[in-house]
Each structure stands twice: as C-alpha cells, then as structure tokens.
C-alpha cells in the first residue's frame, strides 16, 4: 500500500517542529511576547508564545487568526517606529524582536505551509487543462516554500494589503513558487532564490483575479457567518476548515479524533450539507465569482 503524501516525513518541517520547543522556552521570546501584549490590542490577552501560537492556528476563529498574524507582521516591519532614544540605545533589541516575530509567525503558518507543499506538486497551468509539474523533490519544495514564506513575512506590506495576513502570506508563497518554477523551466536553468528576487512585490496578474484566493476568502466568510448564526457548531466549522482550507486529510483527523476516516468524511458531509442548505436560504450561495 502506497504511503499517502501527507504522512511522509519532511526534514525541513521536522526541524522547524523541533525548533519550537527551544523557541517557546526562550527567555528572550517570552519577554518579547509579554512586551508585545502591551503594544497591540490583538495580542493583549496573549502574553506567551504558546498562547499566540494557539490563537494564530485556531481555525474556529478566523477573525482572531487574521488579527494575530497581522499584529506579528507589524512587529516584523519594525512598527511602531522607534523613538530617537530607542534608535540610539536599543537597535539590536528591536532587531532581535523582529527576528523572533518572524520565527513565531513561521511556526503559526507551518501547518498551512505543509498543506500548500502537499498540494503544490501539480499546478493547473496549461491552456488545455493539463498540469505543470512543479518540484518533484519534496525536500526541495519545502525548502523553497519556507524561504519564500520567510522572505514574504519580512517584506509584507501590511499597511496596503487587503484580506487576512495569514492567507495573503501563504498565497504569496504559492504564486511565487509557481512563477519561479515556470521561469526556471522556460529558461532551462536551476531553480534558486537570490538577492532582491526574495522580496515579494505586487505584480498584476495577466489572467485577472486569483480565483484560489477569492474562493478561499469566500469560504472563510461563509464559515464565520455559519458559526455566528448558529448554523454550525465550532467543531463542525473546525472540521470543514481543517479539511477544505488547511488540507488536513480525513486519515490524519481519524487518528486525532479516535474514529474511522469514513466517519470523519460522513461528519464533514453532514456539516457541509447543513451549511449549503442554510447558505442558500440566506442568499449566501453560490459564492461570488471573480469580477
């Protein structure tokens, strides 16, 4: 029986998971998170690395996820601007805080990055409906995606970007990965990152709006409405979000929930049927299409 791609270990991601234990216990990070909780309302009740990580990965509360990831992007950019005294006495400390925020936000987005790499081996690119093979080696794909994510976090334009920061950052990785691979294949040269090419910029798409991002945001809004309106329980919303947005497989969740994968699929089917019926009745279905 062939092993599902989801279950294959990837050293790049394993190393990040092992790093978390050391990072969370770091006195420097614990001190920084306490300080951040006094600066940004989104982090006010989150004065420890563990609480920020949990809030940033809570798929049942997308508003908080978006607020937490946005708050961390502000810290990575050096906001608020340092005073004259800080510039002269604490530049190294501020740089360290920014680096810690990058590492913490990377940990928050790690599940999404894993899911992106798992589904990015093939990307629909060709006019005839065929697919373009991206990076065949999973370790290489993970390393490139991680480098793109870190670069994206460091260069994120939080003042001008619209939409949740977590979705924007992961979709930037997906878009940049596709462009870099396409460019490398077209030019018949090795795929690598270097210099200013790491900086993410707003490049208009020739094909119009990014439909993947459009429908992802639409589903997030629909799930948020369903939770507030009492259409679905928090557990049902979390199940749909983890399988449809974070790309966790029913097989993964089966072990976590202690039930068969078929039962996970049936729960999701019932939840989605309930959601679809309520959404149609409320005029929220079908989802909006690209302009």
What pLDDT is recorded for position 129? 39
Question: What Rg value do the Cα atoms of the chain yield, rounded?
Answer: 20
Considering the segment(s) 211-281 as one domain, its CATH architecture is Orthogonal Bundle (1.10)
For the whole model, what pTM was predicted?
0.60
Q: In this predicted model, what pLDDT tens digit does every residue of 121-160 receive, in sequence order?
A: 544 344 433 334 444 567 777 888 899 999 999 999 999 8
Task: Give Cα 226 distance to the centre of its chain.
Answer: 22
Q: Where are the domains of the chain?
A: 5-198, 211-281
CA neighbours closer than 13 Å in the CB half-sphere of residue 9: 5
Q: In this predicted model, what pLDDT tens digit does every residue of 208-253 receive, in sequence order?
A: 444 455 566 777 788 889 988 999 998 888 888 877 776 677 877 8
Q: Which residues of the chain have pLDDT under 50?
A: 1-7, 86, 90-91, 122-135, 188-211, 289-291
Q: What is the mean pLDDT of the chain?
A: 76
């Amino acid at each position: 029986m062939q092993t599902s791609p989801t279950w294959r270990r990837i050293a790049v991601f394993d190393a990040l998971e092992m790093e978390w234990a050391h990072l969370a216990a770091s006195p420097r990070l614990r001190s920084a998170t306490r300080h951040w909780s006094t600066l940004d309302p989104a982090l006010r009740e989150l004065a420890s690395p563990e609480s920020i990580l949990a809030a940033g990965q809570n798929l049942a509360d997308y508003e908080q996820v978006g607020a937490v990831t946005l708050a961390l992007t502000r810290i990575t950019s050096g906001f608020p601007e340092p005073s004259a005294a800080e510039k002269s006495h604490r530049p190294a400390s501020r740089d360290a805080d920014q680096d810690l925020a990058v590492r913490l936000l990377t940990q928050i987005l790690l599940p999404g990055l894993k899911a992106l790499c798992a589904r990015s081996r093939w990307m629909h690119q060709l006019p005839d409906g065929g697919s373009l093979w991206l990076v065949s080696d999973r370790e290489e794909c993970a390393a490139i995606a991680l480098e793109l994510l870190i670069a994206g976090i460091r260069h994120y334009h939080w003042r001008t970007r619209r939409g949740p920061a977590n979705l924007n950052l992961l979709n930037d990785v997906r878009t940049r990965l596709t462009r870099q691979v396409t460019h490398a294949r077209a030019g018949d040269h090795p795929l690598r990152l270097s210099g200013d090419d790491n900086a993410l910029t707003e490049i208009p798409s020739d094909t119009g709006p990014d439909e993947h991002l459009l429908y992802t945001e639409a589903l997030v809004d629909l799930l948020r409405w369903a939770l507030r309106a009492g259409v679905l329980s928090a557990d049902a919303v979390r199940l749909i979000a983890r399988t449809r947005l974070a790309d966790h497989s029913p097989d993964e969740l089966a072990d976590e929930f202690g039930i068969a994968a078929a039962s996970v699929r049936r729960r999701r089917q019932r939840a989605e049927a309930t959601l679809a019926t309520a959404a149609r009745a409320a005029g929220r279905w079908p989802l909006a299409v690209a302009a």
